[in-house]
Amino acid sequence: MRMALDQAQAAADAGEVPVGAILVDPASGEVISTGANGPIAAHDPTAHAEIVAMRRAATALDNYRLTGLTLYVTLEPCAMCAGAISHARIGRVVWAADDPKGGAVIHGPRLFEQPTCHWRPTTDSGLLADEASSLLKSFFRQRRGTATGGAR
């Protein structure tokens, strides 16, 4: 999660909402890919940290299925990211800070609990939550009044 926080800080330094993600092979401990939030710079509304990390991992592994990998992310995934996590068949998702407003795992639609969800990863939350939350709060405190039009 510390590496994901580094990615979140890189996103903040670039003017993006500070969310970071990494994908790890739990069998070997190898970091397969990293991702930092980047929708503004990429002109891509889907460039959330989780999506960036999944795209990089799929390319690195030459497979769109990321079965068995663990995704560490600094904020509870949104509905788009949770859907992509399910489609990628990621084995486990661990996030730092809960997102009562935009999260979709334990908040909002609770995507993995829906009967139409074909793949449900195991989930854990709270790892380095205070650090992730502080980074987000600091970012938005600095940006108040100059919002770019979106939560991510």
Q: Which of 16, 50, 113, 131 does the annotation list as catalytic?
A: 50
Q: Are 94 and 123 in contact (CB under 8 A)?
A: yes
How far CA 138 is from CA of 34, 40, 116, 147, in Å, comes to 23, 19, 37, 14
Does 81 show up as a binding residue in the annotation? yes
**DSSP string covering 6-51:** HHHHHHHHTTS---EEEEE-TTT--EEEEEE--HHHHT-TT--HHH
Q: How far is CA 97 from CA 74, 77, 105, in A?
A: 6, 10, 12
117 is in an annotated binding site: no
What is the bridge-based pairing of β-strands 70-75 and 20-24?
A: antiparallel
Identify whether 76 is a catalytic site residue: no
Provide the 8-state DSSP code for 111: G
Q: Is 48 annotated as a binding residue?
A: yes
Known binding-site positions for Zn(2+): 48, 78, 81
Residue positions annotated with a catalytic role:
50
Return binding residues.
48, 78, 81
